Structure 1
Amino acid sequence: MVRSAARGLLAGATGTVVLNLVTYGDMAWRGRPSSGMPAETADRLAGHAGIELGDGEEKASREEAAGALLGYVAGLGTGLLYGLLRGRRDRAVWLTGPLLAAAAMAASDLPATALGVTDPREWSGTA
């Protein structure tokens, strides 16, 4: 079980690093700014939890850091859960990648949607 959990964490870490590389590469290539959604989600979660993040620049920095950490938690948590559920079985490997990607996306987008930070119905298919 420990070995499966470690493999899942490694898979989650790998997926998170790849996502960050693609995201920051896209930002550099197109010259686009980063998304404010993770920071806004972190701010709203902190508000619901009764956690004060400070004021001004200090608050903005904490929101940004907490938003990034939530992304790592989503990626690593998805990998860990996969590792624990999968065990040693090697079934449907061709389906595993897309399902893990969907689970990781849900882990980050569902809280943001539930908190009213974003609405997937308003997302466009173009960048």
Structure 2
Amino acid sequence: MDVTVSHAEADCRGVSEILSRVGDKWTIQVVVSLRLGARRFNELKRQVGGISQQMLTRTLKTLERDGLVDRTVHHSTPPQVQYTLTPLGHSLSETVRQLAEWAVMHRGAIEDNRLQYDASGKLQAFPT
């Protein structure tokens, strides 16, 4: 049995992992918050409603590791830390902005479609 992984399979796995990361709801909200400029941690926490301190810390570290966010420590008393998007992060923010615009533009139609689907009884037809 051949267990070698083709380039296409490896590419799909790599793309899937990246899309999973950048499609995460916290990642998207942090990127949107940083789109207009540098933010301090607590400012980000206020802007990203519902995120815990631990989840924000984890999200920012992951974004920094992926090269989407820069973390800058200003040596003052007390030390201040600011987060900004890198050029790579800005390129993602443009795509996220377009996706958000699409969602706003089509939200009504999607809600209508969901109501029609639910009323049709098709949802109950799925095997359990």
Q: Which has the higher contact order (CA 8 A, sep 6+)?
A: 1
After TM superposition, the score normalised by the length of structure 2 is: 0.25
Q: Which has the larger radius of gyration?
A: 2
